[in-house]
Amino acid sequence: MSDAAPRESAELRSDRPHPARIYNYLLGGADYFPADRAAAEAGLAVNPGARIAARANREFLRRAVTHLTRDAGLRQFLDIGSGIPAAASPHQVAQALAPETHVVYVDNDPLVVTRGRALPSGHGSIEYLRGDLREPDDVLRRAGTTLDLRKPVGLLLLAVTHHLRDEDDPHALVRRLLDALPTGSYLALSQVTSDLEPAGWRAVAEDFAQRGGVLRPRSRADIDRFFDGLALVEPGLTLVHRWRPDERDQHSGEPDALVSIYGGVARKD
């Protein structure tokens, strides 16, 4: 996430790396600028596992949305910090199982919104909004024009909370979103940890800071706090490639230290 205010008219900053575009580069996409590629390559130079972490996280996203659609019966998703549209996006996964599913994507990079709004109408009921996790009330108000927030929602916060500073109080921001959602809603969240590869992730975080960005790896205990008061589904909070791996995964056998992202799915009772 950038530090810019989440305005629809905000100028695209191609000279400054943005996590959504860095993530796109790590996933093998083409929607990035030289500044994003330079930041990604600098991160890989000090932590070669960053590319594996991004791709394992993407597989976790697919499995989590599959579970929430097929097994939990959700038909609404709010994906904040969604990133640039890519293969196996939540609407593709969910609508393949339930075509009536509604998905609202929120990101503060204008390129994400531009790419998302250019998707063919045949993709079903989806909406892309320019917004910021740090402004949860604004996100909820605008998402509520597409989603029925009186009915269960799948809140997706995948690889986004580590772009919040501690002083942003990310746990309170997540709690504000959850408090606005009804019983039967779910949280799917993943976040980088430095528990397993502290030197590598510390170096990446320092490089982010030098480029004007934020990367804040957190301990497993700190990540577990995002799920306070919720009922975690099995296998609980775990490294993302260990969360219900299936035959489609390409990274389920990777060493834990190369993944270094914890994730979980939990229900609001």
DSSP assigned state of 187: E
What single letter denotes the amino acid at residue 115? R
Residue 42 belongs to a domain:
yes
Please enumerate, as own/partner, the contacts of 203-209 that have beta carbons within 8 Å and a separation of 24 or more.
203/46, 203/47, 204/43, 204/46, 204/47, 204/50, 207/39, 207/42, 207/43, 207/46, 208/39, 208/43
Taking the C-alpha atoms of residue 224 and residue 263, their distance in angstroms, rounded to an integer, is 9
pLDDT (mean) for 175-185: 98
Q: Are 175 and 142 in contact (CB under 8 A)?
A: no
Give the least confident one: 30-39, 77-86, 114-123, 204-213.
114-123
- 148: tokens are 């029925």
- 39: tokens are 């930041």
| pLDDT for residue 268 is more than 50 | yes
Band of the pLDDT at 162, cuts 50, 70, 90?
Answer: very high
Residue 226 belongs to a domain:
yes
What single letter denotes the amino acid at residue 72? A
pTM of the model: 0.92
Taking the C-alpha atoms of residue 254 and residue 33, their distance in angstroms, rounded to an integer, is 29
Residue 2 belongs to a domain:
no
Q: Are 255 and 48 in contact (CB under 8 A)?
A: no
pLDDT (mean) for 15-40: 90
pLDDT (mean) for 181-189: 98
DSSP assigned state of 67: I
Q: Are 181 and 153 in contact (CB under 8 A)?
A: yes
| pLDDT for residue 1 is more than 70 | no
pLDDT (mean) for 37-63: 93
Residue 7 belongs to a domain:
no
Taking the C-alpha atoms of residue 32 and residue 42, their distance in angstroms, rounded to an integer, is 15
Residue 131 belongs to a domain:
yes
Residue 9 belongs to a domain:
no
Taking the C-alpha atoms of residue 267 and residue 227, their distance in angstroms, rounded to an integer, is 9
Which among 226, 235, 192 is positioned nearest to 43, based on CA atoms?
192
Residue 103 belongs to a domain:
yes
Report pLDDT for 37.
93
Residue 3 belongs to a domain:
no
- Domain extent, residue 119, equals 19-267
Percent of the chain with pLDDT over 70: 94
Number of structural domains the chain divides into: 1
Report pLDDT for 184.
98
Report pLDDT for 121.
52
Report pLDDT for 124.
56
**What is the domain-level CATH number for residue 256?**
3.40.50.150
| pLDDT for residue 123 is more than 60 | no
Q: Are 143 and 185 in contact (CB under 8 A)?
A: no
